Amino acid sequence: MTGQSTTIARGWLNPASRVYRFTVLFFVSMLTFGSYFAYDIIGAIAPTLIKDLGASRETVGTLYTVYSIAAIMSVLIGGFLIDKLGTRMASMIFSTLVFLGSLLVAFGGSLPLVFAGRFIFGAGSEPLVVAQSAILARWFKGKELALSFGIALTISRLGTLFSFNTGELIVHHFGGYRYALIAAMLFCLLSLISNIVYVLMDRYGEKALELEETGAEEKLVLSDVKKFGPAFWYIAMLCVLFYSAIFPFTALSTDFFVDKWGIARVAPTGGGFFNQAFNNFLHMFSTAGGISSIIIFASMVLAPFAGQLVDKVGKRATLMIFGSLLMIPSYLMMGLTHVYPAYSMLILGAAFVLVPAAMWPSVPLIVKKELVGTAFGLITFIQNIGLALFPYLNGMLRDKTHSYTASMLMFASLGLFGLFFALLLKREDRKLGGVLERP
């Protein structure tokens, strides 16, 4: 019996083996697949929600606003919960909130209950990302840490890609918007099950490897806020402006493309559901949801190369300037012309690759090591304030003006202000000795 268990321990069940570690990575990566899908399903099926429910664009935007209000509150306590309870218990709490929130959105039956569901969902979703980062650091620190983060982010963003490219198809194939919300709930359930598998594997591996508990890398300590210099605040302002011009836009972009260009919601094809889904992905540039997902697709494909480019050449402040500059013509083209929007989205996708690749690695270079956790927590906190405000403004402007032109001008202006702070950052970096421009 002893010999048999030793043999098993030397195989794939050995926590020290690479196979075991990467099996953990798969299930940890799946923690956020469901929440990414569920977050964007509202925007993916916005045209149907507006038509079938008689919902205003403002209401659709507010569903994102409610999520971000919950995220703002959870940022304040999420990191401390991870430190206090450990990654296993904290991640299970967050995954359960994500599932319960998506369940309420799918079966709430009334708008107040749907809003309540999005709030619960947001309260679990944002700190779950922080918990995921702590788990990856626990298992991969000193090994394949950068690779593990890249794989986890790619699998998470697959959730967004699937959401935009299958949301309307689910509605069309099964006969109602509720089926898309149920699909989101089932993916959140899959993420919860993945979390349970991780917990079991982590518990087994902890004993064998004597794993150390890793604290949350994003944790807002209010007493540290006054210790940051101008360069940090320029990055924080650039961050909130940049992300406020991306995600609040995609919240209603599918409806925008249907509304202005009359772009098809689903690619025409026959066969079963999976054949239709595959066809939708092949025709990403000719469906409203597919065009919305170009930004995410570009980041999935190009982000690893952009990260390597930044490491090799530096020029972080310069790349942030260039990325911010790209946003302005992209939104102006969509707002003021009838040029097919896929071209503007490709430009926006380039910005979405360049700015984050340069921005996030810049933070540890300009703040003291002991303040990095608070720095990331504070940026996330400020970022969610923008993500709470601008989806509502986007929907409200569309309802009041009966077009998306005012919204596109608003997003272009965010790019302009982002460019202003990127230029200020470049000037401040010169005073700091050019630390952001060095490889």
| Per-residue pLDDT reduced to its tens digit, 367-380 | 888 888 788 888 88
Helix (H, G, I), strand (E, B) or coil at 215: coil
> Residue 379: which domain range?
220-439
pLDDT of 40 > 70? The answer is: yes
- Per the structure, the count of domains in the chain is 2
Q: Does one domain contain both 236 and 215?
A: no
> What are the distances in angstroms from CA 93 to CA 26, 31, 85, 210, 217?
20, 12, 10, 24, 18
- pLDDT (0 to 100) of residue 6: 40
Helix (H, G, I), strand (E, B) or coil at 229: coil
In contact, 311 and 150? CB cutoff 8 Å: no
Percent residues over pLDDT 90 in the chain: 64
Q: Does one domain contain both 396 and 357?
A: yes
Q: Does one domain contain both 295 and 320?
A: yes
In contact, 155 and 30? CB cutoff 8 Å: yes
In whole angstroms, what is the distance from residue 343 CA to residue 234 CA?
30
Q: Does one domain contain both 202 and 314?
A: no
> Quick check: pTM over 0.75?
yes
Domain final residue, candidates 186, 219, 252: 219
Question: Computed over its alpha carbons, how large is the radius of gyration of the chain?
Answer: 22
pLDDT of 280 > 50? The answer is: yes
Q: Does one domain contain both 326 and 428?
A: yes
Q: Does one domain contain both 323 and 363?
A: yes
In whole angstroms, what is the distance from residue 198 CA to residue 204 CA?
10
Q: Does one domain contain both 210 and 229?
A: no
Domain final residue, candidates 219, 245, 263: 219
In contact, 216 and 130? CB cutoff 8 Å: yes
Helix (H, G, I), strand (E, B) or coil at 34: helix
Q: Does one domain contain both 58 and 150?
A: yes
In contact, 249 and 395? CB cutoff 8 Å: no
- pLDDT (0 to 100) of residue 80: 80
CATH number at residue 393: 1.20.1250.20
In contact, 190 and 33? CB cutoff 8 Å: yes
Task: List 50's β-bridge partners, or say none.
Answer: none
- Residue-wise pLDDT tens digits, 180-212: 999 999 999 999 999 999 999 998 888 777 676
Average confidence (pLDDT) over 8-37:
83
Q: Does one domain contain both 308 and 167?
A: no
Q: Does one domain contain both 236 and 296?
A: yes
Domain final residue, candidates 202, 219, 236: 219
- pLDDT interval class at 97 (50, 70, 90): very high
In contact, 284 and 368? CB cutoff 8 Å: no
pLDDT of 4 > 50? The answer is: no
Q: Does one domain contain both 122 and 255?
A: no
Helix (H, G, I), strand (E, B) or coil at 287: strand
In contact, 408 and 99? CB cutoff 8 Å: no
Instruction: Work out the mean pLDDT of the chain and round it to a whole number.
Output: 90
Place of tokens 């991969």: 140
Helices (H) and strands (E) in the chain, counts: 17, 0
Q: Does one domain contain both 189 and 275?
A: no
- pLDDT (0 to 100) of residue 1: 38
In whole angstroms, what is the distance from residue 34 CA to residue 192 CA?
9
What is the DSSP track for 371-386? GHHHHHHHHHHHHHHH
Closest CA to 274 of 186, 191, 170: 170
Average confidence (pLDDT) over 138-164:
86
